[in-house]
Amino acid sequence: MTHWSPDRRDLDEARPAGPTMPDGGGTAAGPLVQRARFGRWDGSQAVPDLSADEIIDALTDDVIAEGDLGEALQRLLERGWRSGDPARSDLPGLAALRERLRARRDDLLKRYKLGDVLADVRAELKSIIETEREGIDRRLANAAEAGAAPSPELADLLSGTIAKRLDRLDALPEDLGERIRALEEYDFLEPSARGRFEALVERLRRSVLDRYAAGMADAVRGMSPEDLAANRAMVRDLDHLLQQQLAGARPDPAEFLARHGSLFPGATTVEGIIEQLAERMAAMQSLLRSLTTAQRSELNSLIDGLLRDDRLRWDLAQLSATLDQVLPGGLGERFRFGGEEELGLEGALGQLETLGRLEAMEAQLDAAESPVDLAGIDRANLRELVDDEAARNLDTLDDLATRLEAAGYLTRAGERLELTPRGSRRIGQKVLDDLFARLRRDAFGEHRLNRAGRGGERSEGTKPFEFGDAFDLDLRETLANALARPENAPGPPVMGSSGVAPRPAGEARAISLAAPDFVVYRTEESTRTSTVLLVDMSRSMLLRGCFVAAKKVAVALETLIRTRYPRDDLTVVGFAYYARELRPGTLAELSWHGYEYGTNLQHGLLLARRILARSGAANRQVVVITDGEPTAHFQDGQVEFNYPPTRRTIEETLREVQRCTKAGITINTFMLERSRALTEFVAQVTRLNRGRAFYAEPEHLGEYVLVDFVRGRTEHRRP
């Protein structure tokens, strides 16, 4: 398998028509083929890391919609990042990581089955007993082959000793736990059988007892009555500690840890003790819950046989019951295996432990509510449960907020993440780029001009140069004008209108330029505009995405004016029950006012008129974005709200429209609803003010507003 990594700068280069290849097989390779690099994929070709710009661009729509950078980042962590570039892979989010954990769990459940989990223990015990019997028989045969007949007394002793051993082996109980207890008291004659039995018991104790407390298998093995008492005391003290926790008290674990801390390494709190205990016991409890009643009884019997102490067994059962109550989800989960590969006891405990770790890791990822929470997830554990790629993806997700902070796009206020002014500008630019990209796709942005001026941006038209024009020369037309005059024409010398004789044919030519030859490009007239954007923030605007659409317009207009028309002014005013001015830097994180009733357009226009009165711009306008007619107005210093709106509210609002008209302020209204009442009201505003009215769907509002703003900004031309 190979990979091909072209330089992006070559992607748009046309392949030149050059000489053919030496073998005649076609034209020579163009720059793209010449600069391409080929190599075998070896896993080291890492995808470039996400840049801060890419991260903030991915957050833009979410921040605009919800107004909270922290929540937007959390949702990005959840869903991941899609590159849209075939050369770069996507970044899986937390949801994808959880899905991989669930897939691993399903694979285990479909692969294995819990049949007779103690079959291997029974088979091993049976083999050990047979080995012991074979050893006895071998010793008898060896004695007979020695040829020396023992004395009658010695023969009777040997026969009696062997008979007792055989009788004890024949009398071994069928119950697995009881059989282990009986064999622990049996004096093996065959050393290999004794060694195998001790190894089996040691392995089982470590598999079972160490899941209650670290080192319990060592403590139980060969323990004296004093050791038994110490272990019972530990279990009872621990149960008492958990009972206090269950009762709602805040027990101090210092005394318990001073006595038994070696069994819980690293634990310093009750929660730490519970966490260690739950991790150890969960697999055993899951196994017990997943077995049939008969299998569960046999496993409990085995545990009893390994404990060698009935009181300790009772205390451990009580501890398990208490821990099951302390933990919110109980201790251990029942798993339903459905595969074909049968598990023994140790294999079952190992797989159940893995399943428990998968469940715990999924819960950790599910509980991650901020980037800070990701730091506490054990990467080594995730790597072991899934793979290295999953751990790398988690590291990348964990690093997103840090990259944004390093780039100056966000700042931390305690645990809260907030946009910096630079971050707000970047979001505004992204919104603006998206809206203008749609304008290009939808063929909106032709921006026809009516009058040209001096010193502005170049237009497509040209004109003869006049004194005072910017010398933005159209060289082609200028030279064409010069060559059209006789003195610049080839041939015999003649005196031209300028009094200069042309050079004879064949000599180096010099072109004579005269003032009438010069042609310059027309330019747009630069004007200054002050705009107040009135955004309806009443409750109804949340419906159909109207508020988000209006918010995007505010952010995009602010960015457009700041970047393309820096001498212009933009003020954003939100109005609902009353109107308030909004700071441009907070627009991206602006949240909806929720349950604020009323559409107080009168107060919004009043505030806009006062703001524009302070502006020295020649063009002053108000852009209103609303989804309903006015339902509130100020009267005697108090807000009056009525729905349906009263005649008084409509009249007071129209009076404010008249005041704006007298002040030379143009009002352009964008309706997000086509209700009859709103249409009639906007028609009255348009008649009084001579502004314009538009109906726009929320998803296309930005296109209408931006096209109208830019077109209105350049609607005058000078000839």
pLDDT one-digit tens code per residue, 526-573: 567 788 888 888 777 766 667 777 777 777 777 777 777 777 788 888
Contact 669, 685 (CB under 8 A): yes
Output the CA angle 525-530-532, nearest 5 degrees.
Answer: 140
Look at residue 483 and give its three-state secondary structure: helix
pLDDT tens digits for 319-365? 778 877 877 777 777 888 888 888 888 888 888 888 888 888 888 88
Contact 28, 20 (CB under 8 A): yes
Q: Is the pLDDT of residue 391 over 60?
A: yes
Q: Is the pLDDT of residue 494 over 90?
A: no
CATH 3.40.50.410 domain extents, the chain: 529-713
Residue 221 has a pLDDT of 52
Contact 589, 56 (CB under 8 A): no
Check whether the bond before 86 is cis (ω within 30° of 0): no
Q: Report residue 251: phi and psi, to 5°.
A: -70, 145
Q: Is the pLDDT of residue 691 over 60?
A: yes
Instruction: Kindly state the percentage of the chain with pLDDT values over 70.
Output: 72
If we measure between CA atoms, which residue out of 572, 608, 581, 577 comes closest to residue 593?
A: 577
Residue count of the chain, please give it: 719
With a CB cutoff of 8 Å and minimum separation 6, the contacts of 109 are 335, 336, 337, 338, 339, 355
The whole-chain average pLDDT of the chain stands at 75
Sign, CA torsion 393/394/400/403: negative
Cα pseudo-dihedral 34, 39, 45, 51, rounded to 10 = 10
Query: Taking residues 243-260, what's their average pLDDT?
Result: 84
Query: Taking residues 69-82, what's their average pLDDT?
Result: 83
Q: Is the pLDDT of residue 269 over 80?
A: yes
User: Which of 545-549, 584-588, 667-671 is predicted most confidently?
Assistant: 667-671
Contact 353, 282 (CB under 8 A): yes
Instruction: State the fold for domain 529-713.
Output: Rossmann fold (3.40.50)
Contact 355, 286 (CB under 8 A): yes
Write 199-205 long-range contacts (CB < 8 A, 24+): 200/121, 200/124, 200/125, 200/128, 201/306, 203/346, 204/121, 204/180, 204/302, 204/306, 204/345, 205/306
Residue 57 has a pLDDT of 81
Pairing of strands 452-464, 519-524: antiparallel
